[in-house]
Amino acid sequence: MNRIRKLALLMTASFIVLAAAWVLLSQLGGAKVLPSLASEEDTEFDQAMQKVRVVVQDPEATVDWVSVYQAILKLKELRDPRCAPLLAQLLAREKPLRIVESSPLPGVMPPLEMLQSVAIETLVAVQANEQLPAIESVYRQTRFMVLRDAAGSAIQALGGAVGE
């Protein structure tokens, strides 16, 4: 009887420890690393990240900027902070995008700046304060006023100071 009670206690304790660990990981945003909890959101996140990664890692790649734009909007919607370092790398890109011929052209600024603008909005959505320097760099250097305004608003939203 004692053996059975001990086994039951051990199982209960194990369950409590596992549950606590799951709650803790969830709070830290680490729930997504648990394979058993892989969800549709993870798949969407990975697919969106892959589209952005191409733009960041291969400056010569010809891309459909609208598709990448939609991918960043998806990241904004998912609000997963793991996207922040990649988006900060996108902000650092200077080489203009090579876009597929079938892409419609944006009106107010070039395709790269359109992506950077929505990347900045996404960094605000995930509260990526650690990426403030990257946004400040865009604010100081861009010659496109719509992007500059987006960067200025983001700096203020993340608690930074907009200076001339």
Q: Which positions lie near another protein, rule CB under 8 A?
A: 66, 69, 73, 104-110, 113-114, 117-118, 143-146, 148-149
**Smaller CB distance to another protein: residue 31 or 66?**
66
Alpha helix positions (H), the chain:
2-27, 40-57, 65-78, 84-92, 111-125, 132-141, 145-157
Q: What's the min distance (Å) between Cβ of 121 and another protein?
A: 8
Cα angle 69, 115, 40; round to 5: 40
Q: Which of 47, 35, 137 is nearest to 83 (CA)?
A: 47
**Smaller CB distance to another protein: residue 30 or 104?**
104
Q: What's the min distance (Å) between Cβ of 76 and another protein?
A: 10
Q: What's the min distance (Å) between Cβ of 58 and another protein?
A: 20
**Smaller CB distance to another protein: residue 132 or 146?**
146
| Alpha-carbon dihedral sign for residues 141, 146, 150, 152 | positive
Q: How far apart (Å, rounded) are the C-alpha atoms in residues 109 and 127?
A: 25
Find out whether 79 and 29 touch, Cβ atoms under 8 Å.
no
Q: What's the min distance (Å) between Cβ of 115 and another protein?
A: 9
**Smaller CB distance to another protein: residue 26 or 70?**
70
